Chains A and B, each alone.
Chain A
Amino acid sequence: MEFTEIIARVDQLAPGAFAPAEEGAGHVWVQPEQWLKVAQLLREDPELHFDSLMCLSGHDRGPEQPLWVAYNLHSMDILHKLEVRIEALREGGSIFSVANIWRTADWHEREVYDLFGINFEGHPDMRRILLPVDWEGHPLLKDYTAPDYYRGIPVLKDKRGWE
């Protein structure tokens, strides 16, 4: 199905879940509180049948702006795709976890939590995945500053010539 047809189908099954799509944007914003329901629907509905979550990534536009998470969905039998985005608060942001709907989301959500600090509600095992458990802060945030020491090991930061 084409992008507009997919949007129309979701609007029909769950009215109001998607914010009106911008012209030519290629992605659609979901109301956070509707996400779990919409995710279930995207996966189960025979006409949509997004059985594969190709990618899940966090985004940061800069300080004082909310973060967002983008989900890239693909249907392996219908061969169409969709990108949905959800906003999350910068401080203490939380999104429903879809790890029980697409198993792929399990580690990817942990990665987003690790690097952006977005909590995924209902995730079976919400902890850091890449960085050490006792690391402070979430490094992919634009306003992140790396610590000078980690467990007594100096984190050298030589930034001559590029800053």
Chain B
Amino acid sequence: MDMSLVNSFDRDNILVARVDDFLNWARASSTWYFQFGLACCAIEMIAAAQPRHDLERFGAMPRASPRQADVIIVSGTVTMTMATRIKRLYDQMAEPKYIISMGSCSNSGGPYWQHGYHVLKGVDLIVPVDIYVPGCPPRPEALIDGLLALHKKIREDTPLRKVS
């Protein structure tokens, strides 16, 4: 977090900042995530949310509804049955929205990348992924690293300027 913003309150209660920075600081500080645990990777995502790793200290709170979430963490094997649902739930999320793809399965099909007729070979075939977290499964630290990478990405965003 950019502490210079907070420290400026000590002096004169006037905040001087670029609007982009201010908005991005707010957005990156509360990335509520839509938990989308699909297989074994979900266990690590749950572990990351538990007190030992405590994802909430980074402002990430699990939500069970796409309407309340800023980021969707797709963790696990995306089957064809689930693929259509992920697409629909992603469409239901409010902009701006981000996707973290957690684990080999949702990155590329994982152990099923050759054989599984029923497994989607990477969730990026149907939705745009922002952060890929490698591993089978990734440890909670890896997910935290992915989340911090997402924060970095959000802070470099320009939410008020339209991208042409």
Give A154 to B122 CA distance when docked, in angstroms.
Answer: 11
Chain A hits for B120, CB < 8 A:
153
Query: Which of A31-39, A94-102, A155-163 forms part of the interface with chain B?
Result: A155-163
Interface size on A, residues (CB 8 A): 16
Chain B hits for A157, CB < 8 A:
114, 117
Give A111 to B110 CA distance when docked, in angstroms.
Answer: 24
Give A77 to B109 CA distance when docked, in angstroms.
Answer: 45
Whether the Cβ atoms of B118 and A139 lie closer than 8 Å is: yes
Main secondary structure of the interface of A (DSSP, over half): loop
Whether the Cβ atoms of B125 and A132 lie closer than 8 Å is: no
Pick the contact of A131 from B80, B114, B125 — CB < 8 Å? B80
Chain B residue at smallest Cβ distance from A135 = B80
Give A88 to B83 CA distance when docked, in angstroms.
Answer: 33
Whether the Cβ atoms of A153 and B117 lie closer than 8 Å is: no
Most interface-central of B114, B117, B121, B126 (chain A CB within 10 A): B117
Chain B hits for A151, CB < 8 A:
84
Interface of chain B residues 95 through 119 with chain A (CB within 8 A):
109, 113-114, 117-118
Chain A residue at smallest Cβ distance from B121 = A156
Give A19 to B118 CA distance when docked, in angstroms.
Answer: 38
Give A129 to B83 CA distance when docked, in angstroms.
Answer: 16
Whether the Cβ atoms of A131 and B81 lie closer than 8 Å is: yes
Give A131 to B84 CA distance when docked, in angstroms.
Answer: 12
The 3 A-B residue pairs whose C-beta atoms are closest, nearest first, are A146-B117, A156-B121, A132-B81
Pick the contact of B117 from A132, A139, A158, A162 — CB < 8 Å? A139
Whether the Cβ atoms of A150 and B80 lie closer than 8 Å is: yes
Whether the Cβ atoms of B84 and A132 lie closer than 8 Å is: yes
> 0/1 per residue, A64-90, Cβ < 8 Å to B?
000000000000000000000000000
Chain A residue at smallest Cβ distance from B113 = A158
> 0/1 per residue, A130-160, Cβ < 8 Å to B?
1110010001000000100011011111110
Interface of chain A residues 42 through 73 with chain B (CB within 8 A):
none
Whether the Cβ atoms of B109 and A153 lie closer than 8 Å is: no
Give A146 to B116 CA distance when docked, in angstroms.
Answer: 9
Chain A hits for B109, CB < 8 A:
156
Minimum distance in angstroms from A3 CB to a CB of chain B: 37
Chain B hits for A159, CB < 8 A:
114
Given contacts A151-B84, A155-B80, A156-B109, contact A131 B121 (CB under 8 A): no
